Amino acid sequence: MAKAVARAYLSSQDDEKIEPLVRIDDQGNPVGRIRNGDYVIFYDIRGEREIELTEAFTASDFSHFPTLPDAKVHFATMIQYDPRLDVQVAFPPPGTIKDTLSETISAAGKKQIKISESEKATHLTFFFNGKRKQPFPAADWVTVPSPHSVLDLSTTPALSISEVALATQKAIHNPAYDLIVTNLANVDVIGHIENPDAIRDAVQGVDQYIGAIVDTALGAGMTVLLTADHGTVERWYYPDGTIDTGHTDSPVPCILIDPDSEALAGIQLRDEGELPDVAPTILQLLGLEIPASMTGKSLLAKYPEEWLTRERRVLLLIADGWGLGDGGPGDLIAQADTPVMDTLSRHYPFTRLQAAGNAVGMPSGSVGNSEAGHLHLGAGRRILSDRLRIDAAIADGTYFENPAFLWATRGAIRDNTRLHLLGLVSFYSSHGSVDHLLALLRLAKREGVPEVYVHSMLGRRGERKESGAKYIRLIEQQTREIGIGRVVSVIGRFWSLDREGNWDRIEKTYRLLAEGIGTPVSTS
């Protein structure tokens, strides 16, 4: 299968959009299809992009495209993708994240609104809300559709930013809203595409609309806290000079913008802050008590007392993916024309926030991402990531006694069916890790599962070009060494991990997994 992936590269396919590849036997029949009675472990960890494919196999009332009739597939997922799914969950949520910024604002009887385009709607609602799907009382959500009909988003670097800005300005003019939270998605979304011209246009477009939104907010007497959730294009090269379209571990800007020009000289933001410090800062600006569980610290280090005590409304403006680089050749933000951000950084209280690694509950040295970023912006405290919980379970051995995994492995043995391991393959991704897959293979070997099939998705954003073949080769090597499992299908994540209702993409993945529809790859 690794050789088949390499051949796909020769026809100008890349990992993220690689067309389905299916292993066939000597008679030309597809091998390892998911069929009635089989057990599946979907080992991805992020969750929101995995819901649609899981629904296709598990929902009794699924109607988005035809599925195999009367097929009962037993499904387990690494984490909880959606509580409504009929699945076993290996690592359930550790508990509700209470006293988030959104909940605290609502409990105080204040009104809030969150505005984003659909590319980032889940981040600004579900993750920012502490992984709560429903809005709190007196909280509105506005989602502007992203241009999803466009296959190559680099041709539309503006995305839907004009509509997002217009909705934000409308909310600013509504005095009922005490807190407005807006996400500008362009730098992150376009930054994952190898097109520096489109990235420059995205950066400059965000800069322009930040200016328009801030001007409207100042005109309405609002205070603005401008920041980002993680870095992306400010470090666009690996050390060897190859392109890195992934996230970074760079700090992000944080600027306090206020219409009271006389007070600005007396305001100073604290150094060495991190994303969890944003929520308590906003609560302090609004004159609300900071919950004891919100362990982040306000960024307000120095301020005039009379300025802080006045009644105000606050806009949290998130420039998604806008990191602070070193100004070198790989800093595409520094190379763009950004007069608004440059001016705001010079003339208003400014600091840098840590947005990666331990600061956002991730392993030390890891890059940031939108899920962890928005979660921590809203939670006001460090939240231990699912990745760390799972890695710890592998290290202490409890991973191999997990009830959901044993349910699947032993169920396959008892029912004389097969076990399928499904997920993204990468050394590190917000969706998971190849280490989690290899640990499942070792568990299946220990339990004595007779048939184990691996279905791989490629295209971790920020991965080195054409790295998918390397990962498939690694898995094929490990299955031989462990003595169990076969890689029987490969597909790009573009077709598998969706959250916008692009059911034609999900159907392509379903047809591969259930029916073996794809480019045949011989076992010989």
> Three-class SS string for 274-321?
EHHHHHHHHHHHCCCCCCCCCCCCCCEEECCHHHHHCCCCEEEEEECC
Share of the chain above pLDDT 90, in %: 83
More confident residue, 427 or 67: 67
Q: What is the pLDDT of residue 524?
A: 64
**pLDDT tens digits, residue range 272-286?**
999 999 999 999 999
Please check whether residue 376 is in contact with residue 382, taking contact to mean a CB–CB distance below 8 angstroms: yes
Please check whether residue 487 is in contact with residue 23, taking contact to mean a CB–CB distance below 8 angstroms: yes
For residue 95, pLDDT beyond 80: no
Q: What is the pLDDT of residue 77?
A: 97
Whether 101-146+153-383 and 2-92+388-522 are alike in CATH topology: the answer is: no
**For the chain, what are the domain ranges?**
2-92+388-522, 101-146+153-383
Confidence of residue 205 (pLDDT cuts 50, 70, 90): very high
More confident residue, 148 or 98: 98
**pLDDT tens digits, residue range 209-249?**
999 999 999 999 999 999 999 999 999 887 778 888 889 99
- Average pLDDT rounded to a whole number, residues 2-13: 94
Q: What is the pLDDT of residue 461?
A: 62
| Mean of the per-residue pLDDT values of the chain | 94
More confident residue, 413 or 388: 413
Q: What is the pLDDT of residue 377?
A: 98
CATH number of this structure's domain 101-146+153-383, picked from the four choices 3.40.50.300, 3.40.720.10, 3.30.565.10, 3.40.47.10: 3.40.720.10
Q: What is the pLDDT of residue 255?
A: 98
For residue 502, pLDDT beyond 70: yes
- Return d(Cα 43, Cα 57) in angstroms, integer: 15
Q: Which two tokens stand for residue 349?
A: 């209280």
Task: Report the Cα–Cα distance between both ends of the chain, in Å, rounded.
Answer: 11
Q: What is the pLDDT of residue 428?
A: 63
Q: What is the pLDDT of residue 151?
A: 66
Q: Please choose, from the candidates 281, 274, 277, 275, the residue with its C-alpha nearest in 3D space to the C-alpha of residue 258.
A: 281
Residue carrying structure tokens 């393959």: 425
Comparing 89-98, 261-270, 322-331, 474-483, which segment has the lowest mean pLDDT?
A: 89-98
Q: What is the pLDDT of residue 104?
A: 98
* Topology classification of domain 2-92+388-522: 3.40.1450
Confidence of residue 56 (pLDDT cuts 50, 70, 90): very high
